[in-house]
Structure 1
Amino acid sequence: MRVAFVSMTTTRHRDTEGTRRLERVAHQLADRGHDVTVYCAAWWDEYDDQRTIDGVTYHGVTVSPARTSFAARLPVLLARHRPDVIHVAPRPPAAVFGASTGGTLARASLIVEWYGDEGLADSRTVTQSLREAAAVITPSELVRTQVRERGIDDGRTEQIPNGIDLSLVQSVDPAEPVEVAFAHRLDESANVDSLLLALAELRDRDWSATIVGDGPLRDDYERQATDLRIDDRITFVGEVSREERVAIYRGAHTFVHTAYREYFATELLWALGAGSVGIVEYQANSSAHELIENHHRSFRVTDPQELADAIVESGSLERWSFDDSFASYDHAAVVDAYLDVYRDVIAAHGLF
Structure 2
Amino acid sequence: MRIAFVSFETAHHRDTETNQRLRTVCELLAEHGHDVHWYCAGFWAGEESTFDADGITYHGVSSGLEARSSFLFRLPFVLAAASPDIVHVSAQPPNQVVAANWGATLARAPLVLEWYGDSGVADTRWTRVATGRPDRIVTPSELVGTWVREIGADGDLVETMPNPIDCELIQAVEPGAEVDVIYARRLDEGANLESLLLGLAELRGRDWSANIVGDGPERDAYEQLARELRIEDRVTFLGDLELEERIAAYRGAHVFAQTADHCVFPTELLWAIAAGCVGIVEYHADSSAHELVEGWDRGFRTTSEDELAEAIVAAGDLEHREYDEAFTDYDRSAVADRYLELYRTLQDERGLL
TM > 0.5 fold call: yes
> Does structure 1 retain, via aligned residues, the 8 Å contact 2:185–2:214?
yes
Aligned residue in 2 for 1:91: 92
- In structure 2, give the amino acid aligned to 1:63: S
Q: Secondary structure of the equivalent of 2:279? A: strand
Aligned residue in 2 for 1:127: 128
Q: Does 1:250 align with 2:251?
A: yes
Aligned residue in 2 for 1:204: 205
Aligned residue in 1 for 2:285: 284
Aligned residue in 1 for 2:313: 312
Q: Secondary structure of the equivalent of 2:255? A: strand
> Does structure 2 retain, via aligned residues, the 8 Å contact 1:79–1:105?
yes
- In structure 2, give the amino acid aligned to 1:32: H
Give 1:23 shift. 0.6
Give 1:288 shift. 0.3
- In structure 1, give the amino acid aligned to 2:127: V
1:318-337 matches, within 5 Å, as 318-337=319-338
> Does structure 1 retain, via aligned residues, the 8 Å contact 2:193–2:222?
yes
Distance (whole Å) between structure 1 residues aligned to residue 162 and residue 180 of structure 2:
27
Comparing 88-97 and 185-194, the one that deviates more: 88-97
Distance (whole Å) between structure 1 residues aligned to residue 232 and residue 291 of structure 2:
31
Give 1:67 shift. 2.3
Aligned residue in 2 for 1:18: 18
Give 1:28 shift. 1.4
Q: Does 1:76 align with 2:82?
A: no
Distance (whole Å) between structure 2 residues aligned to residue 285 and residue 118 of structure 1:
11
Aligned residue in 2 for 1:47: 47
Give 1:127 shift. 1.2
Task: Provide structure 1 residue ranges, at least 5 long, that are not aligned to the other structure.
Answer: none
Deviations along 1:209-228, whole A, 9 cap, x unmatched? 00001111000000000111
Give 1:38 shift. 0.2
- In structure 2, give the amino acid aligned to 1:10: T
> Does structure 1 retain, via aligned residues, the 8 Å contact 2:215–2:239?
yes
Aligned residue in 1 for 2:105: 104
Give 1:204 shift. 1.3
> Does structure 2 retain, via aligned residues, the 8 Å contact 1:90–1:118?
no
Distance (whole Å) between structure 2 residues aligned to residue 123 and residue 351 of structure 1:
34
Q: Provide the alpha-carbon RMSD of the alignment.
A: 1.0
Give 1:118 shift. 4.6
Aligned residue in 2 for 1:61: 61
> Does structure 2 retain, via aligned residues, the 8 Å contact 1:91–1:120?
no
Q: Alignment length, in residue pairs?
A: 352
Q: Secondary structure of the equivalent of 1:158? A: strand
Give 1:304 shift. 0.4
Give 1:113 shift. 0.2
Give 1:254 shift. 0.5
Deviations along 1:54-78, whole A, 9 cap, x unmatched? 2210000111123221110011111
> Does structure 2 retain, via aligned residues, the 8 Å contact 1:67–1:95?
no
**Divergent runs of 4+, >6 A:** none
Distance (whole Å) between structure 2 residues aligned to residue 239 and residue 90 of structure 1:
29
Give 1:178 shift. 0.3
Give 1:129 shift. 1.5
- In structure 1, give the amino acid aligned to 2:40: C
Give 1:154 shift. 1.2
Distance (whole Å) between structure 2 residues aligned to residue 119 and residue 152 of structure 1:
15
- In structure 2, give the amino acid aligned to 1:155: D
Give 1:119 shift. 5.4
Task: Provide structure 2 residue ranges, at least 5 long, that are not aligned to the other structure.
Answer: none
> Does structure 1 retain, via aligned residues, the 8 Å contact 2:278–2:315?
yes
> Does structure 1 retain, via aligned residues, the 8 Å contact 2:121–2:148?
no
- In structure 1, give the amino acid aligned to 2:57: T
Distance (whole Å) between structure 1 residues aligned to residue 178 and residue 150 of structure 2:
44
- In structure 1, give the amino acid aligned to 2:35: D
Q: Secondary structure of the equivalent of 1:300? A: strand
- In structure 2, give the amino acid aligned to 1:156: L
- In structure 2, give the amino acid aligned to 1:82: S
Q: TM-score, normalised to structure 2's length?
A: 0.98
Distance (whole Å) between structure 1 residues aligned to residue 262 and residue 95 of structure 2:
27
Give 1:120 shift. 5.6
Distance (whole Å) between structure 2 residues aligned to residue 130 and residue 111 of structure 1:
11
Deviations along 1:219-275, whole A, 9 cap, x unmatched? 000000011110011110111000010011100010100000000000000011001
> Does structure 2 retain, via aligned residues, the 8 Å contact 1:68–1:94?
no
Deviations along 1:79-134, whole A, 9 cap, x unmatched? 11000000001122221111111111111111110001255631122111121100
The percentage of counterpart residues that share the same residue type is 54
Give 1:165 shift. 0.4
